[in-house]
């Protein structure tokens, strides 16, 4: 190809040729970098972090006759990084609780943290709401669950994480966690505190 160009009497043909070579070089380098990243990614392919609910205590769940809810829920989440060669930066994470598809607490923000390879961390949060408007069926649903002796609570978390492989740190990925806890009403009567101690496994999506 260069021979053909060399025969060309035009001065600008050489320039063009140089341009093409530069472009080719640029694309070759770019595609090799992408290939290396892809190979790294395929070898390491990080597994989603895992979460489980260690404990949930509902300290308050009261609805006013005007359907305004006051709630206070304390929980402990166990966070696990299953990857042997990938660290995780949790840059942002917020937790809230919902009941019968209604959000019943405000979002509680957790402090950012780094989780090492195969690391585990216990995260505690207190979720609260004051005068939060809820559906008029809320009290009826709660009353029915109290009669049945158990209540199903959803704990949800979402945030942003970055993977760390050696010295390389990825961009930010949005993740969300969903946990289902079955709480059994205590012996202190239907109005008593509700708690759950079984380690409920949560699902994580990225
Ligand atoms: C909820 O909390 C607010 C503010 O603390 C209080 O005024 C209200 O009476 C509470 N509602 C119920 C149902 O306890």
Instruction: Indicate which atom in ligand 1 lies nearest the CA of residue 131.
Output: 1
pLDDT score of 193: 57
Let me know whether 103 and 174 are in one domain: yes
Let me know whether 61 and 39 are in one domain: no
Tens of pLDDT, residues 29-45: 999 888 887 777 666 67
Let me know whether 151 and 177 are in one domain: yes
The answer to whether the CB of 67 falls within 8 A of the CB of 138 is yes
* Ligand 1: centre distance to CA 70 (Å): 6
Let me know whether 113 and 29 are in one domain: no
Let me know whether 72 and 143 are in one domain: yes
Which of the pair, 34 or 87, is modelled with greater confidence?
87
What pTM value is reported for the model? Answer: 0.76
Q: Whose CA is nearest to atom 5 of ligand 1?
A: 130
User: Structural domain of residue 27, as residue ranges?
Assistant: 1-45
- Mean pLDDT, the chain, as a whole number? 86
Q: How far apart are CA 179 and CA 155, in angstroms?
A: 5
**Cβ neighbours for 64, distance < 8 A, ≥ 6 positions apart:** 70, 131
Tens of pLDDT, residues 108-155: 999 999 999 999 999 999 999 999 999 999 989 998 998 888 889 999
Q: Whose CA is nearest to atom 13 of ligand 1?
A: 64
Structure tokens at 185: 């009403």
Mutate-to-test residue for ligand 1 from 59, 63, 64, highest number of ligand atoms within 8 A of CB: 64
* Ligand 1: centre distance to CA 75 (Å): 22
Determine whether the shortest distance from the Cβ of 28 to ligand 1 is under 6 A. no
């Amino acid at each position: 190809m260069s021979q053909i160009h060399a025969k060309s009497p035009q001065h600008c043909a050489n320039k063009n040729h140089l341009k093409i070579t530069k472009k080719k070089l640029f694309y070759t380098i770019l595609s090799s970098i992408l290939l290396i990243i892809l190979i790294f990614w395929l070898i390491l392919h990080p597994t989603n972090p895992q979460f489980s609910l260690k404990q949930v205590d509902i300290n308050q769940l009261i609805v006013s006759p005007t359907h305004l809810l006051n709630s206070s829920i304390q929980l402990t989440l166990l966070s696990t990084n299953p990857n042997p060669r990938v660290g995780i930066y949790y840059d942002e994470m917020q937790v809230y609780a919902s009941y019968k598809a209604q959000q019943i607490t405000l979002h509680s923000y957790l402090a950012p943290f780094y989780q090492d390879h195969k690391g585990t961390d216990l995260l505690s949060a207190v979720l609260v709401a004051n005068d939060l408007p809820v559906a008029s069926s809320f009290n009826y649903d709660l009353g029915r669950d109290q009669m049945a002796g158990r209540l199903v609570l959803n704990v949800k978390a979402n945030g942003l994480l970055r993977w760390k492989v050696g010295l390389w740190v990825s961009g930010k990925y949005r993740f969300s966690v969903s946990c289902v806890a079955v709480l059994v009403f205590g012996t202190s009567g239907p109005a008593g505190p509700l708690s759950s101690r079984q380690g409920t496994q949560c699902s994580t999506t990225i």
